[in-house]
Amino acid sequence: MWTRSLFSPKTDIDKGTYVTLSLISVAVILALWCLLTYGGITPRDFLAAPHEVVQAGIKRMANMSLFEHMWASLVVILSGFILASIFAVPIGILMGSFRAVQALIEPITGFMRYIPVSALIPLLILWIGIGIEQKIMVIFLGTFFQQLILISDVSARISKDLIDCAYTLGADRRRVVTRVLVPACMPGVMDNLRVTMGWAWTYLVVAELVAADTGLGYMILNAMRGLFTDVILLGVFTIGILGLITDFFFKWARRRLLPWSADF
């Protein structure tokens, strides 16, 4: 008899199975890590052992330096990300729904999205120096153009019937934009902010490449010089965990702010 199983595409599985499978994948990675290090397969200055990473973490939490690095990185990431979003959301919505705005902006975004942010760092140093502004600018440039394209796409996909319907209900152009187009874009905007927030984290090390004296990226780069793989891994795990927290925040905010929206 034909039944749906774990191995049928697009089939739901119960929550217990889901959690078990997730735990297995984490456990396999951890086991592999233990095997490589405690099994003596890799030298310690090549890959630190789990307990060394934990010790490095405890030490840096005790003297608060880990939190200082976290705070420094969060300020850079959030400033750059919020600044990018403030411009990208309205411009992106207009770009997706007004051909004239699209014509004005598309050549720039189309070009800029292929430029690696690291290629712009020399110019950024020349123009705005090596302070925190430069680091924020790296995050800004890394996320802004991506956000613009994604949000413009959200706006372009809003059903034309929804707009036409608002006209037949007596809305003028301005109100069609403010009362229909903008709210209709919000779920897509939230989803893409969440995605680009993840990308912003991936620019962190690049942002802290130049003249930084604090921050998780700096901590990692600095540890590289002495081959302190325990500190490097600590930095990596911290970024990963902070990334997960911001991701959960966005999921929570979407559910909270847009309860009417159908898909999560």
Partner 1 sequence: MSMLSLRDITVRFEPKGKPPVLALDDVSLDVANDTFSVIVGPSGCGKSTLLRLVAGLETPTSGRLELDGQPINGPSADRGMVFQSYTLFPWLTVRENVMFGPKLKGLSKSECEDIADDLIKAVHLDGFEKSYPKELSGGMRQRVALARALANDPRILLMDEPFGALDSQTRQMMQELLLDVWQTRRKTVLFITHDIDEAIFLGDEVHVMSARPGLIKQSLDINIPRPRHIDALTSPEFMDYKRTILSLMHHEAIKAEDAANQRKSA
Site residues (CB under 8 A) for partner 1? 159, 161-162, 164-171, 175, 180, 183-184, 186, 258-262
In this complex, which beta carbon is closest to partner 1, that of residue 39 or of residue 259? 259
For the CB of residue 187, give the shortest distance to partner 1 in the complex, in Å. 9
For the CB of residue 110, give the shortest distance to partner 1 in the complex, in Å. 22
For the CB of residue 55, give the shortest distance to partner 1 in the complex, in Å. 50
In this complex, which beta carbon is closest to partner 1, that of residue 77 or of residue 158? 158
For the CB of residue 151, give the shortest distance to partner 1 in the complex, in Å. 17
For the CB of residue 234, give the shortest distance to partner 1 in the complex, in Å. 43
10 Å CB burial of residue 48 (0-12, 13-18, 19+) is: buried
In this complex, which beta carbon is closest to partner 1, that of residue 45 or of residue 164? 164
In this complex, which beta carbon is closest to partner 1, that of residue 148 or of residue 185? 185
In this complex, which beta carbon is closest to partner 1, that of residue 132 or of residue 163? 163
